[in-house]
Structures are given as structure tokens and as C-alpha cells.
Amino acid sequence: MPLFRWFILRRLRQEPVRTTLTVAGIALGVAVGLAIRLANASATAGFAASLDAVAGRTSLEIVGPGVGVSEARLASLGWLREWGEVSPVIEGDAVAEVGGGRGELLRVLGADILRDQSLREYRLLDLGGGGDAEPDATSFLRLLVDRDAIVIAERFAGRHRLGIGDTLVLRIGDARLPFTVRGILRHDGPARAADGSFALMDIAAAQLAFGRLGWVDRIDIRLDDPGRLEEAETAIAARLPGGLAVQRPERRGRQVETMLAAFQFNLAALSWIALLVGLFLVYNTVSTSVIARRAEVGMLRALGTSRRRVLGLFLGEATALAIAGSAIGIPLGRLFAETATALTSATVTTLYVARAAATPSLHGVDVVIGFAVGVPLSLLAAAAPAIEASRVAPLDALRPPQGGGAEPRSRRAAWCGIALLALAAGASRLGPVNGLPIFGFGAALLVLLGLSLLVPAALAGLTARLPPVTVEARLARAAIAAAVPRLSISVAALAVSLAMMVAIAVLVGSFRETVIYWTHQTLRADLFVSAGRRSSLDGSQGGISPELETTIRLDPDVAAVDPFRALSVTFRDRLVVLGSGDFDVLLEHGALVFKAPADATARMRRARGRDAVVVSEAFARRFALGPGDHVDLPTPEGERRFEIAAVYYDYSTDRGVAVMDRGTFARHFGELRPASLAIYLREGADPEAVRERLLSGLGGRHRVFLRTNAALRAEVLRIFDATFAITYALELVAIVVAMLGVTATLVTLMLERRRELAVLRLVGTDLRQLRRMVLVEAAVLGGSGALAGLAGGLALSLILVYVINVQSFGWTIQFHVPAAFLAQALLIVFAATLVAGLYPARVAAGFMPAREVAVE
């Protein structure tokens, strides 16, 4: 141990710059990986925790397909009471008009309080000071007896200074509804859901507010004997009429997890790239230290230090760096997680499921993961140089270091690299595992490794071709040529991070172009109306009221209206969107772009009035279905068989969408409020004028989003860009880490060449020439890193676009290289490497020539 302290730790202290840069690299890598982990966990955990809080003592629930359970059927379900307490509920999201214009999402539970108290624990805050307790049923009932009565959670009330008797306006669907606060729930039971963004109403009031007269969302059951859960589930399932299903409440949480899995998996995979780049730094640092201290190691061996001890010393160096890096990275990750959550929660809410953005918290397990990822991987990165150190013979203390062997080695590495690329090509042809593109990411990793192995040959080739136009270029070229194996590590790290950036830029650019094309093809209507939330796919959460739809249809300038209804239903254990549109209007305006079959339009026309659907590309891919296949979709009457008439391109959600004609939909699901309306105007009508007129006709009772075609397209792109903001943030960190690597390498190189630099100074190199020489070196490193990154990135982008994207999300994306953006980004990186060269240049200029040369 004292040997470790003297030989390793002291050295790390003596070279603070290199040590700091390496530790910073690991810290950033660990931090980013952890931040995404926390953000992902908070996305699902927030949902699961709320689900749990609201579920209370519920052990089973009866659900209908998307639309819930018709009240007409409740009477025939009386036998459910044989198993325990039963409570039908309405549960939905409303936007509370609080805190300025933004509003806050509120989870609203509508229940028959007399029955519900045995399933959930409500404790009312007694403002009279008599101590709070579970209120007796009748007094509770009295609180909720009015149609506008609402009971809110303590936290929510506190946040917005609401007291009993205050008015709270909720936006549900397109309606603005005023409620009066009648009671405040203690932070306990369901009131803990979504950090207190919870409200309770009487079930009748909730049905009215959510436009669900005659329906309940589900029936919650508390078993008298919770030990008989399995038995109860089987027995109830057997006795339920068609169209109803029994499930455990956790299932909804699991379905949300499945829905988010691909999105989160991709994010997680991306997030560890920064750590991968950080590991190059560890390898670099340890191998530098092995090379620089070869003679010292030889001496240690001569003095009787065993090979294993030497190996341990250098692995210990990696461990020390990794422990320091992880220790800093973990709290840093917590900090980054706030940003990551802010960036991802918008996406999750917009595209998948509504939830309150909870601040992620750091648990013991995250700390363990931080170390468990950082330390072993650093050891792995340090293994090769450490083993090399352990092979140093005692005599090496006396011999000068051997310079040769670089060329055959770089050639061998290049062949290995080519082999890995071939392997990557093979892996990219394999299918997904559990819906996750495991082999796709494997192929991406192989491309990155193959790229790294090709870097030495590329660097040597590029350096040899550098014209020695100035003396600085000549000196820089010679210095790089002599240190190719060492420099390759940093160049490879830079190339890897840039390759990721290029690939992601190509993916996002291609995707964006595709979406722009798609919106031009499909968003044909002049005006779009949606209710409440920004772009909800769930019509069951309110929707557009019939009177508003009528007002719009009656407007003289409106030619046609296509109402879109949508339900979340479970198909093959996944949540998909079941939608209804007006096929006539869709066909007339050509608002769908078909993927298959060739005669899709004719097939869709024939599908009207029949049990047939058109499905999105993601739906077709996910379930491996095509035109002519049949699907059994859940309806209130039980499963019904639908034919797939056509497959259309859709980039609005990767959940999978099946759309039926409005007539067919109404026949199976009844009349449901539409989630959105597409409005086609008469020739010559001014969309802006119609929009103004319709909005002014709404009055204060309704609130909808009424967008013109141009505004909606802009909104689509805005959501798109917000979705990918996080990927750019992740990339940026990886590039910063790579820059740290370039700086660290150049500094090391200067320290090792201090004698040479001194000679240069003595024979008359002035400081400007010296600085220029170091900058040329930095430029060659940055330039070759950028070129290799570009080449590797383009290869990688093929995997991202054609393998990973298709397997994760099921989208067809037109390949498009955002050339201007890439040129700009690579130039910036190149300039940044020059800046990264400034510090080593200063180090080089700081040597005292006389002392360096005199001392041997």
C-alpha cells in the first residue's frame, strides 16, 4: 500500500492537469448516464407511484375497451360483491387554471364516496383544529353533494393558496368548469398522487364534467380475502360478459413502462456514449503512465516487485481515477437529471402519457450503479496497458525505450477494425429482441470499435500526406508520426463522439425532413381544433363537446369536418390507439399517405361500413401485420374481428394506431366526443378570419386550441425539435469529454517532449513558432478525428435510420444528410480542438530551455 501511495498517488498529484482532465471525463460520463437513468426512472416511477396512491386497497379492477364500462351493465355485475367491496369510478386529467396562464395538470377521481371509502383512505384536514380523522360517510357525502363540489389535496391547496369555499376552474376537454373547494385532503392515501395534484369529486359530477354520462371508467374491487387474488381473478374473468376484462391495477403501470421502453432504451444507450469516450481517457492516462515510467517499473521489478504487484499498481491507478470520477459524477448526475427530466418529460407527456414532472431523486442504488459502472469499466480500459506494464523486465530499467513496432501494429489494428465492421454489417441484419434493437446497438458499438481501430492507420496516412509548407508543419508532422499509437487513442475518442453526433444529426435530419414531407402530404385541412391538452390522443379525457362541433359545422365557410376520435385499448398486451375518422373526408382530401397496398385508396373506400381498419406503419411493424390480415380488437361487446384494409405512414406516435370509419366506430363504441376536428373550408375562405370568428363565438365557457394549417405544422416541428433536444444535449457532453481527451493527450505529449522542445528553443524557435507547431498538431488531431468521425458517423447513421429506428419505433425514414449542419458542427469541433491546443502550447512555452537540456 505505501508503494501505491508513493508510486501512483503521488504521481497523480504531481500531474494535476492530466489527473483532473481524466477524472472530469469519467465524472461527466457517469453523470450523463446516471442523469438519463434518473429521468427515465422518474418518468415511470412518477406514474407508478401515482397509480399506486390512487389504487389504495384496490386489488382488482374491471375495465372496458377504451370507453370503460356502461352503467347499463353495472346492474348485471352485482355478483362482483361476492368477492368484496366494489366501487365504480371515473378517473381523468383536467387542467386547473392556477398559477397564471400555464395551469397545472390535476388527476381527478370521481367516486361514490359511500362505497369508495372502503377502498381508499381519505383524511380531511380539519381546519377547525379538532384534529383530523377519517370523516364519517354521511358528512363526507354532504361535502360532495353539489355538482360543483370538489375536494382537493393539501399540497395542491398549499401550492396555490386555495381554501375552503374558493373557486377552482378546471379545463376538461373544451370546457371551462368552475368548482368550489369543499374540503382539503391530508397528504395521505390518494392525495399523495402526483405530488398532491389530486382532486376528488362525486361520480355523478365527474361523469358530467368529463362528458361520460352513462359510463364509468372502471370498477375497482377490494377483495375481502386478499390471499385469494389469483382465484378471484380467474373466477371473475370467467364470469365477465364480453367486452369487459379484469386486471390488477399494476398492469396499467406495466403497460406504460412497455410503451416507454423503446424511447427510454434508446436514450439510455445514447447516454452511456459519454462514458465510453471517458474510458478512452482512462486508457490514455494509464498507458501514458506505463510508457513514461517503463524504466521505473523495470527498477521496481529489479528490486523484487512481482509482476502481479505491478499489474495491481496500474489497475489501482485506474481505480483511483474511477472512484474519484464516479464520486464527482454521481452528484453531478443528480444535477443533470433535473435538466434531463425537464427535456424528456415534455416528450413523454406530449407523445405518450400525461404525468406531473417529478423531480428525480438519488437513491442508494443509483450511487451503487455509478460506482459499479464507472469502476469496472475503467479497470477494463486500463487492463491492456497495465498488463503491458507487468511484462516489463528488470533489464528494461537500463535499456532505452524501443520506438519501433508502430507500423505493423497499426496495420494489424486496421485489419481487426475492418473485421469488426464486417461483423457490424452482419449484426445489423438481425431482428429485434423483445421489441428492443439489441443487435442494432451491438452493430453500432462494433462500428465505433472498428472505427477506433482504423484510426491509427488513418492518422499515419494523413500525417504522411501533410505538406511541410512551414517549419512548424514539418516539426508537427514529425512529432505526430512518431507518436501515432499514442495519439490514436485521443483521436479515436474524438472520432467516436463525433461519429455519434454525425449519426444522430443524420437520423434527426432525415426524420425531420420526412416529417415535414409527411405533414405537407397529410395535414390538408385548413383549421384544426383540439381540446384541452396540447395534442392528446386520448378522447376519453374529455374531448370536444357536441355543441361546439355543431357550431363549427354550421359556419358558412366550413365545407367539411373530419372528427377524430381516439381510445387507448389493449391489443396483444400493448396499449395502442384505436381511432375513428371520416373516411369520405380523408379520401376526398387525400389526407393519408399509404404504404401498402398499391390500391390502398380503393380498399379504404370499400372499407366504409364494414369491419375494417387502416393501420399505421408502426402498428403493422410491431405486430407483423399487413393488408388483408385480420385483427381482433376489443369492443364493448367483446373482441371483434377487423380486416386491415391498408397501412399508412404516421409519425405522430410509435404506439401503433388503427383507424376505422366513423360509422363503424359508432356502431361498436357508441357516439364518443372527438379528440380533435379537422376543418376544411370553402374555396376562397380566409382561414385566419374563420378562426377569429369561431374563437370569438366560443365565449368563456369553452376553451380549445384552434390552429391554422401553418400553425399546426409549426407546432408539429416544435414538438419534434423538443423531443430531440435531449439527444443533442447528450452528444454535447460526449464531445466535451473528447475535447478533454485531446487536451490531456497534447499536454502529456508536451511534458514528454520537454527536452526536445528545449532543444528547439535553443536552436532559435521563438514562442510564436512553438505555439504554431502545437496548434498544427492539435489541428491534425482534430482534423483526422473529424474526418474519421464523419465517415464513421455516416456508417452509423445507416444503422440508426434503417435498423435501430425501425426496430424501436417502426418508422420509415427517408435518408437525408443535413450537410450544412454537419459542416458547421465539424468546423466548430475543429476550431474547438485548436482552442484545446492552446493550453498545451502554453505548457510547451513555459519550459526553461537551459535547465531541460543541461539536466540529463
Partner 1 sequence: MPLLSVEQVSKSYGAGDSAVEALRGVTLALARGEFVAVVGPSGCGKSTLLHLCGAMDRPTAGRVVFGGERIDALGDDALTKFRRERLGFVFQFFNLLPTLTLRENIALPLLLAGEPASRALARAGEWAARVGVAHRLEHRPPQLSGGEMQRGAIARALVHEPWLVIADEPTGNLDSENGARVLELLVRLNRDEGITLLLATHAPDVAAAAGRIVRMRDGRIEGIEHRTREGSARAAL
Give the binding site for partner 1 (CB under 8 A). 403, 468, 471, 474-475, 478-479, 481-482, 755-756, 759-767, 769, 849-850, 853-854, 856
CA nearest 451: which of 427, 426, 425, 420? 420
Q: 435 forms bridges with which residues in the sheet?
A: none
Residues with Cβ < 8 Å from 128, sequence gap 6 or more? none
With left for phi above 0 and alpha for psi between -120 and 50, is residue 183 left, alpha or beta? beta
Smallest distance, partner 1 to C-beta of residue 411, A? 20
CA nearest 152: which of 114, 203, 187, 100? 187
Residue closer to partner 1 (CB basis): 78 or 467? 467
Residue closer to partner 1 (CB basis): 228 or 755? 755
In angstroms, the CA 856 to CA 851 distance is 9
Residue closer to partner 1 (CB basis): 107 or 761? 761
Smallest distance, partner 1 to C-beta of residue 261, A? 53
Smallest distance, partner 1 to C-beta of residue 475, A? 7
* Burial class, 163, CB count within 10 angstroms (exposed 0-12 / middle 13-18 / buried 19+): exposed
Smallest distance, partner 1 to C-beta of residue 781, A? 16
Residue closer to partner 1 (CB basis): 87 or 765? 765
Phi, psi at residue 178, to the nearest 5°? -85, 135
Q: 241 preceded by cis ω (within 30°)?
A: no
Q: How far, in Å, are 453, 520, 582, 623, 648 from residue 598 at the CA level? A: 46, 21, 21, 21, 11
Pair 337, 419: CB distance under 8 Å:
no
Smallest distance, partner 1 to C-beta of residue 394, A? 23
In angstroms, the CA 156 to CA 106 distance is 9
Residue closer to partner 1 (CB basis): 534 or 851? 851
Pair 298, 395: CB distance under 8 Å:
yes
In angstroms, the CA 729 to CA 28 distance is 12
Smallest distance, partner 1 to C-beta of residue 787, A? 23
Residue closer to partner 1 (CB basis): 442 or 849? 849
Smallest distance, partner 1 to C-beta of residue 848, A? 8
Smallest distance, partner 1 to C-beta of residue 827, A? 29
Residue closer to partner 1 (CB basis): 433 or 767? 767
With left for phi above 0 and alpha for psi between -120 and 50, is residue 214 left, alpha or beta? left
Residue closer to partner 1 (CB basis): 463 or 535? 463
Smallest distance, partner 1 to C-beta of residue 471, A? 4
Pair 826, 735: CB distance under 8 Å:
no
Residue closer to partner 1 (CB basis): 477 or 662? 477
In angstroms, the CA 104 to CA 215 distance is 26
In angstroms, the CA 585 to CA 384 distance is 66
- 3-state SS, residue 675: coil
In angstroms, the CA 587 to CA 136 distance is 58
Residue closer to partner 1 (CB basis): 477 or 707? 477
Smallest distance, partner 1 to C-beta of residue 403, A? 6
Smallest distance, partner 1 to C-beta of residue 499, A? 29
Residue closer to partner 1 (CB basis): 479 or 607? 479
Residues with Cβ < 8 Å from 201, sequence gap 6 or more? 108, 109, 110, 111, 144, 149, 150, 151, 179, 209
Q: 566 forms bridges with which residues in the sheet?
A: 579
Residue closer to partner 1 (CB basis): 663 or 849? 849
Smallest distance, partner 1 to C-beta of residue 760, A? 7
* Burial class, 226, CB count within 10 angstroms (exposed 0-12 / middle 13-18 / buried 19+): exposed
Smallest distance, partner 1 to C-beta of residue 364, A? 52
DSSP run (H or E) holding 495:
helix 484-522
Smallest distance, partner 1 to C-beta of residue 849, A? 6
In angstroms, the CA 840 to CA 835 distance is 10
E-assigned strand segments in 664-785: 676-681, 704-708
Residue closer to partner 1 (CB basis): 358 or 480? 480
Residue closer to partner 1 (CB basis): 229 or 471? 471
Q: Return the C-alpha cell found at 773.
A: 507547431
Smallest distance, partner 1 to C-beta of residue 730, A? 38
Residue closer to partner 1 (CB basis): 131 or 403? 403
Q: 768 forms bridges with which residues in the sheet?
A: none
Give the up-direction half-sphere exposure of residue 355: CA atoms within 13 A in the CB hemisphere: 28
